[in-house]
Amino acid sequence: MDLTPLFRPRSMAVVGVSTTQDNHPANVIFTKNHLRYPVDTYQVNPKGGMINRETVYKGVLDIEAPLDLAVIGVRAEFVPDVLAQCIKKGVKGAVIISGGFSEAGNHHLQERVADMAREADFPFVGPNCLGVYAPGQVDTFFLPGERIIRPEKGNVGFVSQSGGVLVDQMVKFAGQGIGISLGVSIGNKAGLRETDMLEFFEADPDTRVIAFYIEGFDRGEGRTFIRAVERCKKPVVVLKAGKTPRGMAAASSHTASIAGDYRIFSEIMKQHCVAEADNEFELTSFCESLSCYPKGIDGRVGIVSLSGGHGVLAADACVAQGLSVPDLSKGTADAVRERLSAEIRTIASLTNPMDLTGSSVDADMITAARYLSRDETIDCVMVLLLPYSPGISADIGARLSQVARNEATPMIAYVPHEDKYRIIIEGFELNRIPVAASVEGAVLMAKALKRCRPC
């Protein structure tokens, strides 16, 4: 089944627009896409007429043009009739944003909609969801456009049972400079489910990392999902909710999910090298590093810093996260010391972590990063930059990125995320070097690479 028309449509109908409420969810969706996105958009209400000089069609069947997508925002009891029209029309997929299904106890109604779609081989997302956001192409979220912070187009595909978590994660991605290929809120997932999305993203050339926020599975579905992950050639990140009895109860009332035994599911994910994130902070860090380095590492980290204290913090954090900070190979320290600036040659500490002191200059950082990358005991280089050091220039991000490209050893950077250091951060990001806003975030990025190494 080709899901491209659903997720990257060229035309769509928004069913359920109001003739009296401009802020109705369906009106928000229609207006946003009609004015801001390159998708031919039509509005539907049984009354017909005109809204803002735009035709309101009485039904999907009245629209003469072919439709890739229908966004359904009518009351739950009317959804089956609208779905039947979409199937008859030949629409290629739907997003059902309407609530009032299994999450409200109306299991029979949800089953009826799912059965109709299954019999017609008709893909849909939802119900009880926000739907689809594809940067520059379509946005079915019923949230005012001026209130949404949108990440740029990138290579992370993100699937969430919760629309709120998806929107909030988009804010975090944008702040960290992480782009997405597609964001999908699947809600009650009566139609497309996590495994369907995994298969879509694996085949999608625009997606490099696949991330999930999961509240629960139907019985036996978790096993199917893990088997699909095992076959997947792209890194997979999972943030699992419903870890406690209280969380499990909340998941059931939110999207009618069966949270299941979290401990067992977590152990299975580890066995299959899924990068399980403990929280949203880890999810963001994992996605950023894996979007740059899809291949895993053994977790042997070489640290270079302008501050001894930052190096100590990083070393402790690495060990706490299951990474190692090994002694360097014989000759690495000598090779670095020989090439350091005369001002720091006698005061720099060249063990692991390396402390080049606040008196170092760009060339010293570059030298240290280059020879750490060549050290046979190291498979990831972590550079901790304090951009207020007087000898460090605005070009340091780009220059260290050149080292990473030439040496082919993964590099992760820490730079405080402040506007005045933006040029340094962009020097890394534009060259696909992940940049953390904290030492802990940099360590988590390395942790993700270890978790996604081949098992």
CA distance 270 to 290: 16
- Give 318-345 pLDDT, tens digit per residue: 999 999 999 999 899 999 999 999 999 9
Q: Are residues 255 and 318 in the same domain?
A: no
- In a domain, residue 75? The reply is yes
- In a domain, residue 110? The reply is yes
Is residue 254 pLDDT above 60, yes or no? Answer: no
- Give 158-190 pLDDT, tens digit per residue: 999 999 999 999 999 999 999 999 999 999 999
Q: Is 170 helix (H, G, I), strand (E, B) or coil?
A: helix
- Give 80-101 pLDDT, tens digit per residue: 999 999 999 999 999 999 999 9
Q: Are residues 10 and 73 in the same domain?
A: yes
- By CB atoms closer than 10 A (0-12, 13-18, 19+), residue 129 is buried
Average pLDDT across the chain, whole number: 93
**Mean pLDDT computed over 235-258:** 65
Q: Are residues 446 and 411 in the same domain?
A: yes
Q: Is 51 helix (H, G, I), strand (E, B) or coil?
A: strand
- In a domain, residue 347? The reply is yes
Q: Are residues 344 and 237 in the same domain?
A: no
Work out the percent of the chain whose per-residue pLDDT is above 90: 84
- In a domain, residue 243? The reply is yes
Residue 128 structure tokens? 């009880």
Please, which residues have CB within 8 angstroms of residue 281's CB and are 6 or more apart in sequence? Answer: 441, 444
Domain final residue, candidates 264, 292, 320: 292
Say what the pLDDT of residue 298 is: 94
What is the identity of the amino acid at 81? D
- Structural domain containing residue 348: 295-451
- In a domain, residue 144? The reply is no
Domain final residue, candidates 234, 261, 292: 292
CATH number of the domain bearing residue 233: 3.40.50.261
Say what the pLDDT of residue 453 is: 57
CATH number of the domain bearing residue 88: 3.40.50.720
440 C-beta neighbours (distance < 10 Å), count? 18
Angle between helices 396-407 and 362-374 (to 10 degrees): 20
**What is the domain count for the chain?**
3
Q: Are residues 325 and 406 in the same domain?
A: yes
Q: Are residues 4 and 103 in the same domain?
A: yes
Q: Are residues 371 and 324 in the same domain?
A: yes
